[in-house]
Structure 1
Amino acid sequence: VELAMDNSYNSNQQTSCNGISSEKKNSFLVSEDHGQKILSILQNFREQNVFYDFKIIMKDEIIPCHRCVLAACSDFFRAMFEVNMKERDGGSVTITNLSSKAVKAFLDYAYTGKTKITDDNVEMFFQLSSFLQVSFLSKACSDFLIKSIDLVNCLQLLSMSDSYGSTRLFDHALYFVQHHFSLLFKSSDFLEMNFGVLQKCLESDELNVPEEETVLKVVLSWTKHNLESRQEHLPHLIKKVRLHQLSEETLQDCLLNEECLLKSTNCFDIIMDAIKCVQGSGGLFPDARPSTTEKYIFVHKTEENGENQYTFCYNIKTDSWKILPQSHLIDLPGSSLSSYGEKIFLTGGCKESYHDATDQTWCYCPVKNDFFLASTMKTPRTMHTSIMALNRLFVIGGKTRGSRDIRSLLDVESYNPLSKEWVSVSPLPRGIYYPEASAIGIEDKIYILGGDYAPDEITDEVQVYHSSRSEW
């Protein structure tokens, strides 16, 4: 027998019979295009209208097909044929939510493994691949649409991907909408966005708005667009607005202008609580959306006689310097500055001529140019380092007195600006003091780089604090 094959592998085995050896031969056949040939044969069966064993009944026509092709290509049909459904034994299924054109396009793809996705048919393919659970075709449609996302279609694609359950397209469209939010929220399509999608938009830190007040206005406008059906969603949406980032005046205006709506939806108290929060801790919330903030480098210098002070800030985005009004904030030798929200905290330092450290903590607001004493540290310290990390102010190391013979501190404290409380955390494994030490807060860790263990012992070691385990 002569075999035609793509690749064959021969193996010989020796056997013996009555002392006479004979050789048994095996041939392994591998047809690399076997799958494509099967598809081609099935397509020929379809063209010749033979061996059909199933029917798809549409509103206007009946389409015959082969079960094996449907089950191999569609998880929807495979599940239908595997479980005890009437369609399995009845030999047909009725589909009313897809057009005949869509079903025929699906069958063309199922029998050939090929199709052409265009701007005109991509939504049709997306719908049928979602309903019939054709994962490869669904991914191809998602990839096609992801490349086409723009300001004109992004809201439509966001809604479509949400309806069809395409996580991949939804994530890309949501990202685009969030980053172009300030250009989209006034459009009519935006006002038709469903509650769940809008909620996801508002949750993001990356929401691109000029100020948080815009988010509040968007929530109110969206609710009023269809008040009867949407007012129940207002309490959920208004909690996605970072109300504590708004000014007290803005919140008071909201109460005055929207009193009826807020009271009818139980949102009045939410705004009142936000006002109290701003009054007590305004500017101390580190969760402002990046698009609503500007980053500055703050520089403060006090002359040796303590009389002349110079305060500047550098705008990183505009590459420009600005002179700030004199703050009369005295930065003692050995003190440390750290920023938190809109405020700057100055901790410790040496006071008077005896170089004794202070336990004082000052809070300075560059926006209002005022400062006040915050809660005192548990341990006076100078020549320490401080950093805002993990939503707390950490003070690390230093000395209780600016003298060579004073040992470095092991103590580490953290301060919650909202509760105004200092707590001790895990001490350093070895005392270290400023000025060489610095700290960087990354995720749940703080890194202490270098510093002095003693007057004549400078280190290049890195000490790491693990917040989740509270250990160094």
Structure 2
Amino acid sequence: MKEKHSQTVRLNEVSADAVEQVLDFIYTGKIRLTVDNVNGIMKTASLLLVESLLDIISDFLVETLDPLSALHLRETSRLFSLHKLEEKVKECIVENFGVVSTQEKFIEISEADLRKYLSLDQISASEDDLVSCLLIWAKADLSKREERFLSLFKLIRLQHVSVEYLVDTLRNDPLVKGNQNCCDLIEKTMHFHSKPEGIKKQSKRRDTVEEIFMSATTTVEKITQPHVSHESAVVLHGDKLFFFGGYLNSNNNIATNSIISFDGREWKNEGNMIHMNSTHNYVTDKCNHWKNI
């Protein structure tokens, strides 16, 4: 390297301010990260191989992670080898796939990654959403992706696609109509809906169960305004209605993990689920024990 013959080392594409902050961290162990400075500091820390600072940056970015930023942070985690962040991003994408797949950057994911998502039982999206995002992804670069479309299409559990979407939209899609094997799969599925005997039933996704135990000592918070949600799971338990997750309004595409109850008089925040959910179902037994199905 030519730097070994010079008393000056140039760090291109990083700002003097970022270099100063990284050097301060090296000597003091302290750093102040913000959404405005984190990228510059991350680039500098990577160039200078300051692994301890990259770990701190990874933790910081995990705190900023949401379904709308997941694909961007996925690239960041791979570019800078932020393994903890990459794992958290994977979890976020799986738990919020219906939202993540609507983002513009989704069409840039690799076939291998899309195949992994479509193969998962625990993916958080309806089968309608999964086949829709597959069609959008394939058509974004049809000349290169059409050949692989059938193998990905076979991962869709067509028996759980809504009949309306299957008949009115999917069966008439030009990409599907142009592939005889896809047409055969749809016809077989339509036959299943009319006469399921003798046809193997496909399992639903999200077969794992999230259990929620509501104890008598659970601290609840009263809500002064009526709770309005969209696509929540609603369960009548005892003398209360419980609303699990859903969207806060019809224009919001990020689900919540809230558990709200109403006893005819008061609205209360009963706590939170582990995961954000929408368009799902809950059942309850005689105890305060809930299962996501």
Per the shorter chain, which TM-score range? 0.5 to 0.7
Change (3 A) 1:275 1:140: farther
Please give the alpha-carbon distance, in whole angstroms, between the structure 2 residues aligned to 1:281 and 1:127.
59
Return the TM-score normalized by structure 2.
0.54
The amino acid of 2:184's aligned partner reads M
Please give the alpha-carbon distance, in whole angstroms, between the structure 1 residues aligned to 2:13 and 2:134.
34
Change (3 A) 1:285 1:233: closer
| Other structure's SS at 1:206 match | coil
Corresponding residue number in structure 2 for 1:138: 54
Please give the alpha-carbon distance, in whole angstroms, between the structure 1 residues aligned to 2:147 and 2:8.
44
Contact 2:127–2:157 under 8 Å retained in 1: yes
Corresponding residue number in structure 2 for 1:103: 19
Change (3 A) 1:319 1:110: same
Corresponding residue number in structure 1 for 2:122: 206
| Other structure's SS at 1:120 match | coil
Change (3 A) 1:94 1:207: same
Contact 1:159–1:193 under 8 Å retained in 2: no
Calculate the aligned-residue CA RMSD, in Å. Answer: 4.1
Contact 2:68–2:100 under 8 Å retained in 1: no
- Mapped pair 1:178 → 2:94: yes
Please give the alpha-carbon distance, in whole angstroms, between the structure 2 residues aligned to 1:97 and 1:235.
43
Contact 2:171–2:186 under 8 Å retained in 1: no
The amino acid of 1:258's aligned partner reads D
Corresponding residue number in structure 2 for 1:165: 81
The amino acid of 1:165's aligned partner reads S
Please give the alpha-carbon distance, in whole angstroms, between the structure 1 residues aligned to 2:71 and 2:138.
18
Larger RCO: Structure 1 or Structure 2 (Cα < 8 Å, ≥ 6 residues apart)? Answer: 2
Structure 1 residue 144 displacement after superposition: 1.1
Corresponding residue number in structure 2 for 1:223: 138
Contact 1:255–1:268 under 8 Å retained in 2: no
Corresponding residue number in structure 1 for 2:172: 257
Query: What aligned pairs does 1:30-429 form with structure 2 within 5 A after superposition?
Result: 87-88=3-4, 94-191=10-107, 195=111, 197-209=113-125, 211-227=126-142, 231=146, 234-235=149-150, 237-243=152-158, 245-246=160-161, 256-259=171-174, 261-262=175-176, 268-270=180-182, 272-273=184-185, 275-276=187-188, 279=192, 282=199, 284-286=201-203, 288-290=204-206, 318=235
Contact 2:77–2:83 under 8 Å retained in 1: yes
Please give the alpha-carbon distance, in whole angstroms, between the structure 1 residues aligned to 2:7 and 2:155.
52
Contact 2:118–2:156 under 8 Å retained in 1: yes
Change (3 A) 1:239 1:128: farther
Identity value in percent: 28
Q: Deviations over 1:308-345 (max 9, x none)?
A: xxxxxxxx98469xxxxxxxxxxxxxxxxxxxxxxxxx
Please give the alpha-carbon distance, in whole angstroms, between the structure 2 residues aligned to 1:93 and 1:263.
60
Return the TM-score normalized by structure 1.
0.36
Please give the alpha-carbon distance, in whole angstroms, between the structure 1 residues aligned to 2:158 and 2:48.
44
Change (3 A) 1:200 1:163: farther
Larger Rg: 1
Structure 1 residue 174 displacement after superposition: 2.5
Listed as ranges, the gaps of 5+ residues in structure 1 are 1-84, 294-315, 321-472
Relative to total residues, which structure has the larger helix share, 1 or 2? 2
Listed as ranges, the gaps of 5+ residues in structure 2 are 210-232, 238-293
Which has the higher mean CA deviation after the structures are superposed, 171-180 or 212-221? 171-180
Structure 1 residue 289 displacement after superposition: 0.8
Aligned pair count reads 209
Corresponding residue number in structure 1 for 2:242: none
